[in-house]
Amino acid sequence: MNDTLVSLKKELEKISDFIIDKSDVFYFDYPLHLNVGDLLIYAGTEQFFRDFNINIRLRRCLQSFSINEVKKHIRPNTTLLCHGGGNFGDLYPSIQKLREDLVTNFPNNRIIILPQTAYFSNSKEMERSASVFSSHQYCYLFARDTITFQLMKQKFSNNVFLSPDMAHQLYGELSTKIENNLKSQMDTLYFLRKDIESSHIETQIKNRLSDLTNIKDWEDLLTLQDIKYELFCSRLAKIANILNCSYLKNKVNDMWYCRTLDIIKRMQYIFLKYDLIITSRLHGHIFSCLLELPNYICDNSYGKNFNYYNQWTKNINFTNKYEL
């Protein structure tokens, strides 16, 4: 076992201390989409619930979220947890609105935002959102890096704490490169972003390579069946929300969690075929670390990756920054 990775997993213990009644917890915005980084966070969060005997009375993704349903089931001691990740800000407004709706509607309940990276492209939007959060006395925010911590502390809440990503709870649950001793398919996997968080780094790396076949992103590793299944579950969740059918919503929860574990298992098998990962995906980096697989991390468009590396993973002996 790697000492740094063990310590990062142990860091997550403190989050459980903020949940006073562990038998009465709601969990919102679990990712019913195909960003595998978010699925790793999801799986780590569910592992966290099991490890600390936390009973989730209500699980809802964005597609099945209804503030009226929450009002129906909430109690005075209910703790509301919001999924962690890198979507706190104005790049993903629908998810930020879900959090703001909880903060606005439940001023007397404890609300915990699991470890996040914050980024606002618009200062007015940041001030508006901060005014919502800062009005809530019992809102606890966990930040994945010091820049996010400082922003949240200055603008959003007095209750802000540093914490690594929830995916670290999976350490020890996944088999590693050393354990598998698999023969490499290719020496190096270039695991690079293609979405709104990509930067000039991806283009420069591609320009330096004569063979582009080992450049992948999550979407290249997912199957058509994954896409169809995600679409089916997403539509089913929306229909369940329209019908206000809790049974169907819960069924979607179970179906998608099983698919999540299956996807992670397949990604694990693919990653372990390589000797080295070079990635601009934060969870390409974290996943490689969990698998004890040598890796280099590139930065993303707004510094999220290097901030995380500098805060948490720089002391892992098989990882480093990739700088052109």
What six digits make up the tokens of 17? 């201390």
Q: What's the pLDDT tens digit per position in 108-128?
A: 999 999 999 999 999 999 999
How far lies 109's CA from each of 54, 73, 233, in Å? 17, 13, 30
pLDDT recorded at residue 208: 80
Burial group, residue 261, by CB count within 10 angstroms (0-12, 13-18, 19+): middle
Smallest CA-to-CA distance from 202 within 212, 210, 214, 194 is with 194
Burial 92-123 (b: 16+ CB within 10 A, else e): beebbebbbebbeebeebbbbbbbbbbbbeee
Task: Say what the pTM is.
Answer: 0.94
| DSSP of 230-275 | HHHHHHHHHHHHHHT-HHHHHHHHHHHHHHHHHHHHHHHHHHTTEE
What six digits make up the tokens of 159? 């209750």
| DSSP code for 167 | G
Q: Which CATH architecture has domain 3-169?
A: 3-Layer(aba) Sandwich (3.40)
pLDDT recorded at residue 214: 85
3-class state of residue 297 by DSSP? strand
Q: Per-residue pLDDT for the chain (324 aa), expressed as one digit of tens each?
A: 899 999 999 999 999 999 999 999 999 999 999 999 999 999 999 999 999 999 999 999 999 999 999 999 999 999 999 999 989 999 889 999 999 999 999 999 999 999 999 999 999 999 999 999 999 999 999 999 999 999 999 999 999 999 999 999 999 999 887 665 555 555 899 999 877 666 777 778 878 877 778 889 999 999 999 999 999 999 999 999 999 999 999 999 999 999 999 999 999 999 999 999 999 999 999 999 999 999 999 987 778 899 999 999 999 999 999 876
pLDDT recorded at residue 185: 53
Q: What's the pLDDT tens digit per position in 163-220?
A: 999 999 999 999 887 665 555 555 899 999 877 666 777 778 878 877 778 889 999 9
| Cα gap 216→123, rounded to integer Å | 34
Torsion of the alpha carbons at 92, 98, 104 and 108, rounded to the nearest 10: -120
pLDDT recorded at residue 68: 97
